[in-house]
Amino acid sequence: MFSANPRTAMNAYRGVGVESIVDSASPHRLVLMLFDGASAAVASAIANLRNGNVPAKCQAISKAMAIIDGGLNASLDLNVGGELAKGLSDLYDYMTRRLLQANLANDLAALEEVARLLEQLGSAWATLAAAPVAPVTRSPAPQPPLRATTLSYGAA
């Protein structure tokens, strides 16, 4: 009836928690979550590189690359976003290349550079997400002129 492994239950609980957060998050919040995840993965890669844990470093870098390329870059709409979206796409590609270089050469400076870039972009997104959205003002639809009508509720 119940799993003998409490870890399985915890993983299922975490999965449901993440799904419910994602389902209710605004688009700005989702992007912030991607930045947070990529930043955490790069921080883990830095720590694992310093500790000499190469397999964990590789895994963390792979996770960061997947988030940057498959999440942040894939969410851009180059047709709608114009030059800004193109610039972000180019920056995400650059970060992915730097992460690949860091993985191949154990390049701490490349990891730290990507960490700084993620921090700067994440801060900009956080500022955008916190800014109040100006309401869209529409001119009211024209109303038909009022006509006088006589209402009768029975015999007078």
Whole-structure pTM value? 0.71
Q: Are 60 and 69 in contact (CB under 8 A)?
A: no
Q: Which CATH architecture has domain 14-130?
A: Up-down Bundle (1.20)
Give the sign of the dihedral formed by CA 84, CA 97, CA 35, CA 127. negative
- d(CA 78, CA 67) in angstroms, rounded, equals 18
Confidence tier at 115 by pLDDT (50, 70, 90): very high
Element (H, E) at 122: helix 108-130
Mean pLDDT value of segment 18-36:
73
